[in-house]
Chain A
Amino acid sequence: MNGLYQTFAITLMNLRSLPARIGPSLVIVVGIAGVVAVLVSLLSMAKGFSATLNGVSDEGRVVVLRGGSTDEMSSGIGTQQARLIVTKPGVAREDNDALAAGETYVIADIPKRGNDSPANLPLRGVEPTSFAIRDEVRIVQGRNIKFGRYELIAGVKAANQFQGLDVGNRLPLRGVDWEVVGLFETGGTIHESETWVDNALLVSNLNRGGGYTSMIVKLESPLDYDQFKQALDDDPQLETNPIRESDYYSGQSEGMTGLIENFGYSVGFVMAIGAVFAALNTMYSAVSTRSVEIATLRALGFGSTPVVISVMVEALVLASLGGAIGAGLAFVFFNGYTASTMGGTFSQVSFDFAVTEDLIVRGILWSLFIGLIGGLVPSIAAARQPVTVALRGM
């Protein structure tokens, strides 16, 4: 009981005297805030990117690619094959029409807003059924394209990133002007980084003589996937690679997400070492300027454990304060921040940073860990110093 009381008393005394030692204490707070802010910001970038690509979550949709292809751009499906694919069991139907659409996914060099450097804008040729299958599409400005016309609708994220994607504008491509007639949203998924046009017109504009790069197929139920895949594999006239749409996009996000996470953790780790040095330095000087005070307490009969604990608590309080500030800064500056980069198929993907609760918790845990290491060694040193030596420092 006595030990507990002592601990409480010393800790309280330490914390009360903190404002008097504001300068050195700030070193810990600011240092750790920096580490946590960087860690959380970088991880929120990875989180936002993967959320955008994993947002396409309709388990009942399948992207059919050519066998051997792993992405739409390097794939190709002929018109004949497309006719066979829609007859397979499991494909959903609406008014007797199969819910399957051939699509063509390509990229075009368009300058970005704010600088004239061209970047790869994704261009998707769609069929009328595409809209029945991708029912999350909502036109938020203007109107939808009319098939048979050189018209284009742009995802809101694409429109924000690229020059000329404003309703009423014309986009010249391979000798044809495509009129931007509307903007669409898909609830934050990757499709908002794309532009959509009539597939038939796009294919003839590309001089490809027909066919698609891939097919999007809606199944009656997500459970029909195996049956559908089996039927495609069994057909000797077909050589395809059907992938659930959700798996297709999460596969594309893995590389970049892993990359940013690795980078975030390695930089965070190196910085954490720096912050441990700073914390150690501060706690050492905090202890050394107070060595007389601590020795006096010891001389009065306070035990060494309460001294250790009190110094630890001080370090942890400062560290968690730093952690909270750092996570807060990351949240204020980066939550919802829109950035873009080159995705899996050389095409530009826009995404929003997501500072989620678990990232904040992770940041604060890191700060406590740094505080623990930064406080432990100096506190033991403080407790171990012989009372007489310390008192002589007066």
Chain B
Amino acid sequence: MRYFGLIWTSLFRKPVRSALTFGSIFIAFLLFGVLQSVSVALTEGPDLAGVDRLVVAPKYSIIDDIPLAYQERIRAIQGVGTIAHQSWFGGTYKDSTNFFPRWPVPPREFMQVYSEYAMPEEQKRAFANTRTGAIVGKTIAEKYDMNLGDKIVLIPDIWQNKDNGPWEFDLVGIYDSEDEAFQNQMFMNYEYFDEYRSFGSGGVGTFVLKLTEPARSAEIAAEIDAMFANSNDETKTSTEKAYNQMFAKQMGDIGFIMTSILSAVFFTILLLTGNTMSQAIRERIPELAILKTLGFTNVGVLIIVLTEAIFIALIAAIPAIALAGIVVQAPAIGSAMPFLADSELTNAVIIQGIGLAVLLGLVAGGPPAIRAMRLSITDALGEHA
């Protein structure tokens, strides 16, 4: 790092050009960070999904129900711990554009199975003990200005109630979770929902099981499906991660196309920037010859040039990737583009980005640096930029 001063000064040799190069690299890596995060979200689904949880879904379609009575039979299987279930409520909150999933669940079991949802103890108790109780994620509560004690009125679509009117729930809890995407939901007491709906009682959408023997999850899943094979309501059991991935994959081609178009673009920008950087170094070959005249070795010059190229790539790429991390987490972006809500900048993406920045420096700086190294001093000094 003896030559850091030299490298730093050369960045300011042509400040406009350096600034523009910085700008293009910054933009390229900003895109890279955002798109890689989106792509991870689209192909892998949310991270929260636990490996020790199984989802028992209807075999033929998500619109079918599974009898709640299956619960006791599933419980008898060895390795199955707590059983919760979820049903799709649908409906409208004030306006049809206010979309967020709403799920009737059995409060106690639900809070045991999804222990990562954080909520104060008294709110947990209230949810377990209030027949008309409901909880929402922090994001939802902030977005629609909901407060504890509020009545939440939902206009039904599928689930008409016995009075053929709107449903009313009491907001008794606001939960937090590390993953923002999971805050975007509402859960209410299944018991009330089931008694008050005008048809379909005794059915649930999916069961979610916590396993006491997670290592045997594949075996347990097969056992459950075999148990209900050839019944009126056959099941399809998978890990929660696989189940969520199935949904993520249904966004399908769109995500794939977007990410492939954009990665092509990322490399185009890198190519262009690399070209400009190379050109800038070529123009300075006479200067490098002066360094060699002063006694710098060939390898020394090579290292200085490469370090400089890698340095500018890194000082632009690192803040860009950091900004990408902020952008994909921004709630405003998540709500404008829901599929971005599940995005998260993973360590793998950060490492890839830094690796690419170093590569960019090597590829852009390498050829002219090698040329400078090989040229005899007199030839190099004679070269005109």
Contact = CB atoms under 8 A, between A and B. Distances in A.
Interface of A: 23-24, 27, 30-31, 34-35, 37-38, 41-42, 45, 66, 68-71, 73-76, 106-109, 112, 115, 117-120, 173-175, 206-207, 239, 259-260, 262-263, 267, 270-271, 273-274, 277-278, 280-282, 284-285, 289, 339-342, 346, 348
A-B interface, 8 closest residue pairs, ranked by CB to CB distance from nearest? A274-B27, A339-B253, A74-B157, A277-B23, A69-B157, A34-B268, A281-B20, A277-B24
Contacts of A342: 250-252
B31 A267 contact: yes
Interface in B213-261: 230, 232, 234, 236, 245-246, 249-254, 257-258, 261
B48 interface: no
B251 A271 contact: no
A203 B60 CA distance: 14
Which of B16, B62, B63 counts the most A-chain CB atoms under 10 A from its CB? Answer: B63
A107 B265 contact: no
Interface in B264-280: 264-265, 268-269, 271-273, 275-276, 279
Contacts of B20: 277-278, 280-281, 284
Nearest to B27: A274
Given A274-B27, A281-B21, A75 B60 contact: no
A24 B336 CA distance: 39
Given A118-B246, A281-B276, A348-B252, 8 more contacts: A30-B271, A37-B261, A68-B92, A175-B232, A270-B31, A340-B253, A341-B254, A342-B250
A282 B60 contact: no
Contacts of A263: 258, 337
A328 B134 CA distance: 54
A106 B64 CA distance: 9
A70 B276 contact: no
Contact of A284 (B17, B232, B249, B250): B17
Interface in B336-355: 336-339
A34 B279 contact: no
Given A30-B268, A30-B271, A285-B279, A66 B23 contact: no
B59 interface: yes
Contact of B157 (A24, A30, A68, A173): A68
A118 B252 CA distance: 11
B272 A27 contact: yes
A31 B269 contact: yes
B62 A262 contact: no
Which of B31, B245, B250 counts the most A-chain CB atoms under 10 A from its CB? Answer: B250
A110 B64 CA distance: 14
Contacts of A24: 275, 279
Given A284-B16, A284-B17, A278 B61 contact: no
A109 B63 CA distance: 10
A114 B31 CA distance: 30
B90 interface: yes
Nearest to A239: B164
Nearest to A49: B254
A108 B155 contact: no
Q: Interface majority SS on B: helix, strand, loop or mixed?
A: helix
16 contacts: A27-B272, A38-B265, A73-B63, A174-B60, A174-B234, A175-B230, A271-B31, A274-B24, A274-B31, A274-B269, A277-B27, A278-B272, A284-B20, A285-B279, A289-B385, A339-B252
A120 B61 CA distance: 8
A73 B63 CA distance: 9
Interface residues of B, number: 55
Given A120-B61, A259-B337, A270 B27 contact: yes
Contacts of B64: 206
B156 interface: yes
A109 B17 contact: no
B30 interface: yes
A107 B62 contact: yes
Contacts of B236: 109
Contacts of A207: 232
Contacts of B271: 30
Given A31-B268, A281-B276, A348 B250 contact: yes
A66 B157 CA distance: 8
A387 to B, nearest CB: 20
Contacts of B115: none
B6 to A, nearest CB: 23
A71 B90 CA distance: 11
Given A117-B249, A341-B250, A262 B336 contact: yes
B28 interface: yes
A339 B265 contact: no
Contact of A285 (B17, B28, B254): B17
Contacts of A106: 61, 63
Interface in B316-346: 336-339
A281 B63 CA distance: 57
A376 to B, nearest CB: 14
A34 B268 CA distance: 7
A353 to B, nearest CB: 9
Contact of A278 (B232, B249, B264, B276): B276
A144 to B, nearest CB: 24
Contact of A274 (B23, B246, B385): B23
Nearest to B250: A342
B84 to A, nearest CB: 22
B262 interface: yes
Which of B17, B245, B268 counts the most A-chain CB atoms under 10 A from its CB? Answer: B268
A239 B155 CA distance: 14
Contact of B262 (A31, A38, A68, A259): A38
Contacts of B265: 34-35, 37-38, 271
Contacts of B59: 109
Interface in B115-164: 155-158, 164
B96 interface: yes
A108 B262 contact: no
Contacts of B385: 289
A341 B251 contact: yes
Contacts of B336: 262
A27 B275 CA distance: 8
Interface string B1-35: 00000000000000011001101100110110000
Contacts of B273: 278
A68 B20 CA distance: 55
Contacts of A108: 60-61
Contacts of A68: 92, 155-157
A76 B27 contact: no
A71 B92 CA distance: 12
A318 to B, nearest CB: 13
Which of B96, B252, B264, B269 counts the most A-chain CB atoms under 10 A from its CB? Answer: B252
A45 B258 CA distance: 10
B261 A119 contact: no
A348 B249 CA distance: 11
